[in-house]
Amino acid sequence: MLPRLRQGRLQQELLVRAARVRGAEAPTAVDCTAGLGEDSLLLAAAGFRVTLFERDEAICALLADAIARAAKEPQLAEVVGRMTLVGGDSIEGLAELGFTPDVVYLDPMFPARTKSAAVKKKFQLLHHLEQPCEEEDALVAAALAAGPRKVVIKRPAKGPQLAGMKPSYSIGGKAVRYDVLVPPR
């Protein structure tokens, strides 16, 4: 991940572009589906204070260990210092945050693939432990109820919209796209 965290490269990351909030000095983000924490690390490197939710106990333990080890690395210590891991369900956690985040990030497990090629090894563990999101409507509703300036949703490039929500705009790449919901203010 270190090459992706370099300043020139970081600003080219699709997630960072989708999550960018104008005028926020110390932007906050909530990653409702933290998984292995790579996307949260990108957001933290871009200056966000990130609260990560992970409901699977095994994945949460792996992520806590990774954050603790990264905190001991000089080039990552400041970045992971902006990350706070919460073990538990994000739908409930969003209602009890105690602050209004600038960005709520949703990266639910993608639907099963129809292609014959296997997914990357690091994602095979996640696919084994967690199922595709079954609570799409509740997850999007909880994200919007938290009152963020935007909700960023990671989807397969040609996949359906999450919970049928039409995005305000999308930023797409070859493999994924980021649908951005901008609630009216």
- The predicted-structure confidence for 138-183, as pLDDT tens digits, reads as follows 999 999 999 999 999 999 998 898 888 899 999 999 999 999 999 9
What is the end-to-end Cα distance of the chain in Å, rounded? 36
**Residues whose CB is less than 8 angstroms from the CB of residue 134 and which lie 6 or more positions away in sequence, other chains included:** none
Amino acid 90 reads S
| pLDDT exceeds 60 at position 115 | no
Task: Report, as an integer, the average pLDDT of 112-138.
Answer: 58
Q: Give residue 185's pLDDT.
A: 76
Task: Take residue 2 and report the two structure tokens written for it.
Answer: 């270190």
- Report the alpha-carbon distance of residue 86 to residue 66 in Å, rounded: 14
pTM assigned to the model: 0.87
